[in-house]
Amino acid sequence: MSLFDLSGRTALVTGANTGIGQAIAVSLSDAGARVLCAGRSSMAETLALTGERGSGVTLDLSDPMAAAAQFAEIAERERVDVLVNNAGIIRRADALDFSEADWDEVMDVNIKAVFFLSQAFARAALARKGQGRIINIASMLSYQGGIRVASYTSSKSGVMGLTRLLACEWAGKHINVNAIAPGYIATNNTQALRDDPDRNKAILDRIPAGRWGDPSDIGGAAVFLASEAAKYVHGTTLPVDGGWLAR
């Protein structure tokens, strides 16, 4: 059996309707996993790509505690082996003008929901005395400050720190907690940057690979971290960035 074979495992991927989440769901499915595609939008396109291994789950992460409670109910009904905390939102404004609403909305989805879904996942894994994999989606702004995205940068820096903390607490309990930090990927969240000729050129000039990433570039990293090949990997944040940080 391949180290990367995920047959017999069930993964839940948040924000799986489009972009990086969709690509991760498809990659996990291609590796043999059954994938629960979770979010508040239609999953029809993703389910068409995952075929019989995919199923949709309505999960509204704008209410993190309700979403965590709903996840706990799912985990009571069936074993979930892999949790991918992918869902995220972004708000853009100068720091002097940033609103409390934009701060709270981003932090609720991007870090509060990540923690409490992970907590529910770990409780279920420990109750069944099984193993588990948590894969959080960080960002280049886990390493850098960025501009005009105060709550997003704060939340993604928090994702990296939370990944380390949970790994420290749960590695000895057979739960691997790691993160992926996508580089500049062509998704809805980066549309504004790609539409700005100056920002687009500045970003491309810095990426050694010379292109924006495709969501599918993240899928292989997710399969690795979900698989037995990564069984001794704990607390890492893996950049998949076309060499951005190396520059």
Give residue for tokens 């509060």.
Answer: 112
Q: Between the CA of residue 207 and those of 108, 144, 180, 222, 243, what are the distances in Å? A: 31, 15, 18, 22, 6
The pair phi, psi for residue 139, each rounded to 5°, is -170, 165
Residues 5, 223: Cα–Cα separation, whole Å: 9
Nearest to 178 by CA among 231, 121, 106: 231
Letter string b/e over residues 161-191, b meaning 16 or more CB atoms within 10 A of that residue's CB:
ebbbebbeebeeeebbbbbbbbbbbbbebbe
Q: Does the annotation mark 184 as catalytic?
A: no
Residues 180, 238: Cα–Cα separation, whole Å: 5
Catalytically annotated residue among 143, 152, 184, 232: 152
- Residues serving a catalytic function are 152
